[in-house]
Amino acid sequence: MLVITCPNCGDRPELEFRCGGEAHIARPQTPAELDDGQWGAFLFTRTNPKGVHAERWIHQHGCGRWFNALRDTVSDRLIATYPMGTPRPDAGAGAAPSSPASPTSQP
């Protein structure tokens, strides 16, 4: 089971969480001025990267709050979590290994 670090509650099992899709997608300020293509892109087009992906998660069965997480879509490793409204941290992007656990984390 994955252990996800909630910014409010600390390390918790993944059963308590739900994923809410890609993070940092801002709703257009003036939707009426968009054409169908632009609106469709806002609704449906996602980056779907192979590698580090910024996602929204909610601690549904815990504090009930949303937060953002960086997850590696190859290894399913959660690299970092950070509160809603804060910019995506850069540190995790390069430092995240897609390989299994690093030797330093083993006893």
Residue numbers of the site for other proteins (CB under 8 A)? 1, 8-9, 12-13, 15-16, 61-65
Give the SS3 label for residue 44.
Answer: helix
**Shorter beta-carbon distance to other proteins: residue 9 or 19:** 9
**Shorter beta-carbon distance to other proteins: residue 63 or 74:** 63
**Shorter beta-carbon distance to other proteins: residue 67 or 92:** 67
The Cα 67–Cα 100 span in angstroms is 25
3-state secondary structure 67-80: EEEEEECCCCCEEE
User: Exposed, middle or buried: residue 59 (CB in 10 Å: 0-12, 13-18, 19+)?
Assistant: buried
CB of 1 to other proteins, least distance (A): 6
CB of 3 to other proteins, least distance (A): 9
